[in-house]
Amino acid sequence: MKILVINAGSSSLKFKLFKMLDESVICSGLMQEIGKEEASVSFKHDDQELKKLMSIKDYNEALCILFDLIFEEGLLVDINELYAVGHRVVHGGDVFSKATQINGEVVSRLKEFIPLAPLHNPANISGILAVKQRSDTIRQVAVFDTAFHQSIPEHAFRYALESSLFFEGKIRRYGFHGSSHKYVLAQACKLLKQDEKETNIISLHLGNGASACAIQAGQSIDTSMGMTPLEGLVMGTRSGDIDPGIIFYLHEHKGYSLEKIETILEKESGLFGLCGENDMRTIIKKAKAGNKYQLAIDIFVYRIKKYIGSYFAILERVDALVFTGGIGENSSEIRSLIIEGLKGLGISYDVHKNREMIKNKFSFHKEKSEIKLFVIATDEELEIALQTKEALDE
C-alpha cells in the first residue's frame, strides 16, 4: 500500500511517498518558487538527490512534474496504484475535527476558511484539484493542522471578546501544528508504555514556527497558537504574544499601515526582530553575555517557561515534557535553558543524556525526576499518511 503526502505552501510543494507496510519513504522532495521561471525541484530516492531549476507555472504543472519523476524512476507505474493521496490542510475551522475524505462539499468548506488562512488554504485546494485533474477516481484525504485542537474546551478556545465576534465572526483559538503534537504524543506514549487515554503531556514544537500544547488524556486542551499562527511563543520571524494595543499605537501614532504592521509581526519580529537572525544555530554561536543574541535566546526561553508553568496549572498531572521541531530536537543548549530552574515542578534532567543526541527519540530525565523528558523527532508527513489511511479504513 502506497500513500502520497502533499504539503502545499504559498509557493511551494513538499511531498513524500510512503510504503505503508513498514512506513518507509520511497521518495520525497520539495518544489519551491512555484509560479516563477526559475522554480527549484529537489527529488530524493534511494540516497540519490536530483536537483534542477525549471519553470513551473502552477500547482497543476508541479503535480505533473512530480508524477513524471515518480514514473520515470519506476516508483509507480500508474497513479491509481496509490492507495490514496493525503493533503496537509492548514485550516479546517471549527468544522473538521479529524482527517476527512475529500469530495466536492469538503472543497467548498475549505474555500470558506480561506479568510482564516489566506496564504495556505488556497494552495492546499490547488494541490487537491491538481491531483483530481490527474485522476478522477483516486481517493484524497485532508489532514488538518487545526483538527487535533478541536478538543480544546470553550473556556480555553474563546477570547474575552463580544460574543457575536465568536458566533458570527468565528473568532476563537484554533491552534496549529496539530499533526506534529499528535505524532509526538503517540511516540511519547510508546516510551511511557501508557495508553494515550491515560497520558498527560506538554508538547513543545520549537521550529521556525513554534507552539506549545497541553495534552490531557490524549487530547489537546490548550495550545499557544490562536486564531492564527501568530499568537504564543517567540518564533523565527513571528512575534508571538504581544499587547494588541501596540497595533493601534503603531497605526494611530506612528502612521504605520495595517499591511506594514502585519509584515512587521509576521516577518520581521521574533528572533529575527530581536537580533537580526532567525536561525537558532547562528544565534547560539553569536551569543555572549549581554549581547543582543543572548537577549533573543533569553526572551525565547522565558516565554516557553511561562507556557510550561501555565500548562502545569491546567493539567492535573504531567507525565512528560516533549521537545520537538528543529530547535527542540537538536539544541541541547536551549533545552537545558528551558528546564533550568524547574526542579520545583518535579523536573530534573541528566546533563549528559541531554547532550547525547540519539537519533529520532530519546529521554534525558534523571531517574528520580517525577516528570519524564523526551526528545522526539516529529514526522508530520508520516502522521498525515497514517491519518489518511485511518480516515479511509473507518
Cα(160)–Cα(172) distance, integer angstroms: 9
Taking the C-alpha atoms of residue 283 and residue 131, their distance in angstroms, rounded to an integer, is 41
Query: Contact, 163 vs 110, CB < 8 A?
Result: no
C-alpha 90/C-alpha 46 separation (Å) is 30
CB of 236 to ligand ADP, least distance (A): 6
- Residue tagged active-site, from 22, 46, 58, 145: 145
Q: Residue 216: name the closest of 263, 291, 275, 156 by CA.
A: 156
With CB under 6 A as the contact rule, the residue among 326, 347, 372, 385 that binds ligand ADP is 326
- Pairing of β 2-8 and β 84-89: parallel
CB of 169 to ligand ADP, least distance (A): 29
Q: Which is nearer to ligand ADP, 131 or 235 (CB)?
A: 235
**Residue 323 C-beta-side C-alpha neighbours within 13 Å:** 29
* One character per residue 176-215, x = contact with ligand ADP (rule: CB under 6 A): -------------------------------xxx------
89, 327, 371, 377: residue in contact with ligand ADP (rule CB under 6 A): 327
CB of 165 to ligand ADP, least distance (A): 30
Cβ 107 to ligand ADP, closest distance in Å? Answer: 26
Interface residue with ligand ADP, options 229, 236, 240, 273 (CB under 6 A) = 236
Give, as ranges, the residues between 266 and 325 that touch ligand ADP (CB under 6 A): 279-281, 284, 325
User: Is 145 tagged catalytic?
Assistant: yes
Of 97, 330, 336, 348, the one binding ligand ADP by CB under 6 A: 330
The beta strands (E) that lie in 106-145 are given as: 140-144
In angstroms, rounded to a whole number, what is the distance separating the alpha carbons of residues 170 and 165?
A: 6
Residue nearest to ligand ADP (CB): 326
Ranges within 92-151 binding ligand ADP (CB under 6 A): none
Q: Is the dihedral of CA 73, 86, 192, 331 positive or negative?
A: positive
Q: Which residue has the cell 491509481?
A: 80
Catalytic positions, written as ranges: 145
**Which residues form the interface with ligand ADP (CB under 6 A)?**
207-209, 236, 279-281, 284, 325-327, 330-331
